[in-house]
Amino acid sequence: MWDRCAAKKILLVHDRFGAFAGAETNLFSTASELKQRGHEVALLHGPDTNQGLDSWRELFTQRFSLNPATAASDVITAIRQFAPDVLYVHNLSHIEALETLLAANIPAVRMIHDHQLYCLRSYKYNYFTREICQRALSPYCLVPCGAFLTRAHTGPLPVKWTSYSQKRRELELNRRFDSVLVATRFMRDQLLLNGFSADQIEIHPPVPRTAAVTQTSSFSDRNLIVYSGQITRGKGVDVLLQALACLTTHFECLIFGDGNYR
């Protein structure tokens, strides 16, 4: 598709600017590594998170704002001014922005950080039974799942409407990316279930592994276990605690984070 060794101009695309959660950490680390390897990076982004903005501004000296009301023209402006060799899209669900990016006929990579692309609820399990959903996106998501109503983190109401037809269109557009990166085999299987080609999917775990990986346990007699992340229902802290309750050996568990499931 292109010479992988030569320096490239890479336009990263994300729905936020600044530190926030795992997706932002991954994007920042990736862009930093690309820049150290001689590539030129720029960022087309949504609103500020008001966290860690100075380091983001230092990394992304070339930035382009993405406004939902002017998404198509914002994408066109960024592409014309930066002239990228590669598009590297992270979290982005805006249909018009996706259509305009893909219409540019530039090699495009998509990093999928979670389950929002193929699940209306975004966490792939039944809210009441906690059973993992093994279905592709389908009318079943509407009846009996009722996933068109999801939790609202802002606004006057506790729930919000999620469009099934828009989610299907978003899936169709994402199938047009040249390469799709996921973190786990489960995410890969979900994409295959939703019509993606096996050839376009690559698994890249977010935890780096050195070349000297061995099968020897790194646990000490202390058996220290650390969880770091959001404490929300979908993150599985409850499952961690249930699993630890089954242990008969000594251990210590430290949980770092906050959230509405604390």
pLDDT score at 123: 84
Average the pLDDT over 77-95 and give the result. 98
**How far is Cα 262 from Cα 256, in angstroms, rounded to an integer?**
11
Beta-ladder partners of 255: 227
pLDDT score at 158: 75
Range from 41-45, 230-234, 249-253 carrying the lowest mean pLDDT = 230-234
Average the pLDDT over 114-137 and give the result. 88
pLDDT score at 127: 75
Burial class (CB in 10 A: 0-12, 13-18, 19+), 71: buried
pLDDT score at 27: 96
What number of other Cβ atoms are within 10 A of residue 53's Cβ?
A: 13
3-state DSSP call for residue 193?
helix
pLDDT band with cut points at 50, 70 and 90 for residue 1: very low
Most confident of 20-24, 48-52, 128-132, 154-158: 48-52
- pTM tops 0.75, yes or no: yes
Average pLDDT, the chain: 91
pLDDT band with cut points at 50, 70 and 90 for residue 5: low
The answer to whether 24 and 14 are in contact (CB under 8 A) is: yes
Question: How many percent of the chain have pLDDT more than 70?
Answer: 93
Average the pLDDT over 11-23 and give the result. 95
The predicted-structure confidence for 192-228, as pLDDT tens digits, reads as follows 999 999 999 999 987 665 555 565 666 788 899 999 8
Average the pLDDT over 155-181 and give the result. 92
3-state DSSP call for residue 237?
helix
Q: Is a pLDDT exceeding 90 seen at residue 232?
A: no
DSSP 84-137: -SEEEE-S---HHHHHHHHHT---EEEE--SSTTT-SSSS-B-TTT-PBP-PPS
The answer to whether 244 and 218 are in contact (CB under 8 A) is: no
